[in-house]
Structure 1
Amino acid sequence: MSVAGLVLAGGRSTRMGSDKAMIILGDRTLLARAVARLEPQVDELSVSSNLLQVEAAGVPVIADATPSFEGPLAGIQAGLQWAQSRGHSALASVAVDSPFFPETLVRQLRKGDPARIQVARSIGRVHPVFALWPVTALEPLSNFLVRAETRKVMTFLDEFGFDGVDFPTEAFDPFFNVNTPDDLAEAERISRLIGS
């Protein structure tokens, strides 16, 4: 299985008041951290964003194929189109605002049925954008975006079918995400704790 990687960095970040991808945690942006964490796990990497106008950390930036579709599903759709065009059989997606996602994420997700979407789960909670998507999901996803009244990732996952893959939490939830200044302070604490 050839796996492409996609960092979802297209959110408006209204609660942070600035482009979340460019927020500094320690000595690096959240985007640089996500790229560095995902790149060793995949065969090729890109960033999904309608905001970043230049290459991000040397990685190509992919805009949504259909700008009217807002949210992560539009980014995943564009990522699947890109992955398919590059000859990959699957796409691993991560969110830019979760700086501590597992370094074994893709390896663990690859253990599941390659015909189904494999989705990360911790403490019984599903993290729908941390997933391994077969490129065969592209057509059903595109159809869903055209006809659906909602663009919620979980709604599509429930319709297409997915398997949850559990990850340990130990000292903290590796899928902790930065949405507010308080979250950023907590991320700084975790970063110091793990020396990352």
Structure 2
Amino acid sequence: MSRPPAIILAGGLSTRMGGGNKGLRLLAGETLLSRVIARMRPQCDLLALNANGHPDQFEDYDLPVIADGFGGFPGPLAGILAGMEWAAAQGMDCVVSVSVDTPFLPQDLVHRLREAKGRNGLAIAASEAPNGELRDHPTCGLWPVGLADDLHAALESGLHRTGQFAAAYDPGRAVFNSNPVDPFLNLNSPQDLADAARYL
């Protein structure tokens, strides 16, 4: 069985990081994008980047760069839709999405998402805090490309919450431990980058 392709979501405005492309920010000498690629490439046969703006800034990464099909930076759901459409064009029936600002992604993420998929074929990642509380991370998920039309309609209706869209399709959950650090920790500010460097 072939491994599903993955789309790295990097289409946002990075306002809390000070603007520019968040994926090109450095964490301990490597870009966030490089770190996410290193985590995902061994898990996927195909990898693409969802980013808006000029694709030349990513030419060193040797990835297809796919822009949102919706204007106005509508958020990660637009990137997931772009990933679905790209995966379908490759003849694939699903796509994994991850965010470019999550450099500690699990190395068995794709396998665990596939094992966890619900009755509609959708799975999202979740992490378990030391107190047992579960936290969903819906931008990190396994998405059937057959939901592309539904997602397009949802975006046209103004829906922007990834978790809200996923919840409508009874997703399975791949639950990961958060000790010593949440593997889905997302870095939104220069302070987050400094804290993550200490984790490393």
TM-score > 0.5, shorter chain as reference? yes
Equivalent residue in structure 2 for 1:164, among 135, 151, 173: 173
Query: What is the rounded CA distance, in whole Å, between the counterparts of 2:81 and 2:51 in structure 1?
Result: 12
Aligned positions, number: 190
Superposition pairs of residues 142-161 of structure 1, within 5 angstroms: 142-147=152-157, 149-161=158-170
Counterparts of 1:107-122 in structure 2 under 5 Å? 107-113=111-117, 115-122=120-127
Choose which of 74, 77, 101 in structure 1 pairs with 2:78.
74
In structure 1, the partner of 2:99 is 95
Q: Distance in 1 between matches of 2:189 and 2:159?
A: 25
Q: Which runs of 4+ in 1 moved over 3 A?
A: none
Structure 1 residue runs without a partner (length 5+): 192-196
Answer whether contact 1:7 1:95 (CA < 8 A) is retained. yes
- RMSD across aligned C-alpha pairs, in angstroms? 1.5
Deviations 1:131-187 (A, max 9, x none): 01111111211111122x331111111223211211112211111111112111111
Contact kept? 1:116, 1:161, Cα under 8 Å: no
Residue ranges of structure 2 left out of the alignment (5+ in a row): 129-133
Query: What is the alpha-carbon distance in structure 1 between the residues aligned to residue 60 and residue 124 of structure 2?
Result: 26
* Equivalent residues of 1:63, 1:75 under 8 A apart: yes
In structure 1, the residue corresponding to 2:79 is in which secondary structure?
helix
| Structure 2 counterpart SS, 1:15 | helix
Aligned-partner Cα distance in 2 for 1:69–1:7: 16
Q: Residue 78 of structure 1: CA displacement?
A: 0.7
Whether the 8 Å CA contact 1:46–1:60 is kept in 2: the answer is: yes
State the identity %.
41
**Deviations 1:96-154, CA, capped at 9 Å, x for gaps:** 0010010110011111336321000002000011101111111211111122x331111
Once residues 53 and 73 of structure 2 are traced to their aligned partners in structure 1, the CA distance between those partners, rounded to angstroms, is 15
Counterpart contact for 2:117–2:173, Cα < 8 Å: no
The residue aligned with 2:6 is: 5
The CA deviation at 1:56 is: 5.3
Instruction: Give the whole-Å Cα distance in 2 for the aligned partners of 1:42 and 1:61.
Output: 16
2-structure distance, mates of 1:180, 1:68:
22
CA distance in 1, matches of 2:14, 2:85: 25
Contact (CA 8 Å) 1:45, 1:59: kept in 2 or not? yes
Mean CA deviation greater in 20-29 or 68-77? 68-77
Question: TM-score of the superposition, structure 1-length normalised?
Answer: 0.91
